[in-house]
Structure 1
Amino acid sequence: MELDSIECVSSTDGMDEDEIHHHNLHHPHPHHGHHQFSSSKPHNNTNNANIISNIVGATAIAPATSVHELLECPVCTNSMHPPIHQCHNGHTLCSTCKTRVHNRCPTCRQELGDIRCLALEKVAESLDLPCKYYNLGCPEIFPYYSKLKHEAICNYRPYNCPYAGSECSVVGDIPFLVAHLRDDHKVDMHTGCTFNHRYVKSNPREVENATWMLTVFHCFGQYFCLHFEAFQLGMGPVYMAFLRFMGDETEARNYSYSLEVGANGRKLIWEGTPRSIRDSHRKVRDSHDGLIIQRNMALFFSGGDRKELKLRVTGRIWKEQQNPDAGVCIPNLCS
């Protein structure tokens, strides 16, 4: 289905409005690669006797990561925890992947049966291992089972791509994702803490459940994603704008933002805290945590014969600075 294009005009920090290229509602950008963090290590599984020999003979001198590699499933590369299964030749894999490979060893193709690798399970229970994100900066070391729980919420774990126009599976740290958004998704990048966008769409009574636009702003040394989209709510479409912070939730709370839309004697204002990109785009949208414009009000703002949607959304981002004397937060505006 051919969709209408959206015109967006943006100006930052007092700059004149510059024309920005048209955006289609859908932005298909294929991604054939994965980020460098998502890598698979080769596995040289041995039989059970050799595994125990390696562990017992090398524990005193080998780094914990060597033992950790023995506990990686050769199929999903996640850490194995009981029950750990093995084939008749001693090749191991996790219980989840055992069903995925249809009870055939992925290494030697022999039937797996129901053999447990009890020795490796006991080794797993006795180990203190570094977080798997240690190479990204996490310094923590945990008992084996605590480690698994920590890794699910580790602040150093990679972020998912915040682009909402397609199902993008790319993950990485913030600098990597900023470059990915710019180069692969062709997202508009701006420097400054204020913005002024104009969105134009013909036939506003038709709406696709898709993102209209994503813009990335760089200010206070951080990156923010401004989303503007249309989606069906009840019997009619609504238009929504919201900001996400490219970082963790604790950092996001240090910032605030405002959005304003209006024309023809009417105005809507939204003020709030940006959500972290740890929260998915859909989660933020479905929680309605942002500026929401009902269709009738959007048409009031547009004026004219109501056959074209014309919305001007302005906004700014500021940092909340703690005042040690007063004990309250005061806004630190971007110069």
Structure 2
Amino acid sequence: MAAQFELGSKHLENKKQANAAITEIQADNTKAVVKELINKGYGAVPSAKAAYDDYLGLTIVTEEIAKTAPEAASVLVDQILAQELAAKYGNGELNSSEIYAILCSEPGNADPKGLATKATNNGGNWHIEGKKLLRKEHLTADKYLIFAQDENQTRIFSVPEEKINVNSVTKNVAGSNVEINQVELNLDVPESACIAVVNDQLELYLTVARTLIAAVSIGIGHSAVVAGVNTAKEVRDSNKQALSGSQNVQFALSDMFAELEAARMLTYYSADAVDNNKPSIKFATMAKVQATDAASQNSIQALQLLGNLGYLANSDFADLIRLAVEGQVKGGTNRTQRSQIYQHMLANKK
């Protein structure tokens, strides 16, 4: 499998250009970074006009951006998925200059096929009622794509940001107060707001989504490995020897690197299968689980090397850990997706 992904000149150029694009950007907030990347051709489905023309190139670019700006990469993934939804289930392309956030997850439910949010047609208008959960990066959106269930099928509505009221809900979890961003929907939108009707099991969409979530996590995991290696070289123990001289530290860093490389190969394999018209939800799910677990474990291992500097709330590394762990629950928890992998094992599905 590894030999299959010795990247050719096209994909190496994709990687080089993405690195240059993110390095050139001077913006100091996620929304501004995303806007500049969109202007440079990123955040679109593969095409001759984008910065890549296949899904493997798209995956490599997403990973590269995530190494430097993981939150921006996560927002770009939503832009790509929004375009996928509009192209496959709707009436064409969305406005490529606007930032979209996909609101599918609900309190207690991340399955797009079992939604509690309801859409009712009131003779020319749609009434949408329900609750949705928001991630931090969703707050950068100009418009929200809301999944809702009518009597027979799932519909997707485009709603401007100003019509969405975000509430911060405090919940007590295991004795700790946790703030959750939540939207309570009770609004009317015109018929034209319905941009897509889902008429299948969303398998291709979920395959692309999980592959791209994996790509973001690989970028995060890479940053954790780099932080770990640099710290091991710079920090001295009580004998004034670099931590990198310790065999235990070497083993830990080697494991981090090996797990990340395994995740990368699975992710590239999944993207390449989409390019060859053989998309596999099984491989995409395995890639997502492997990559997000590797990113989370790598971040925790790097934290052990960084010590108290790693967990300060205002440090960049603290955000990296949050994003790494978030990947394990995004689009459905890894525990749920392991159950799906098991079902594929039993059925011997591709």
| TM beyond 0.5 | no
TM-score, normalization: structure 1?
0.21
TM-score, normalization: structure 2?
0.21
Look at both structures and tell me which one has the larger radius of gyration over its CA atoms: 1
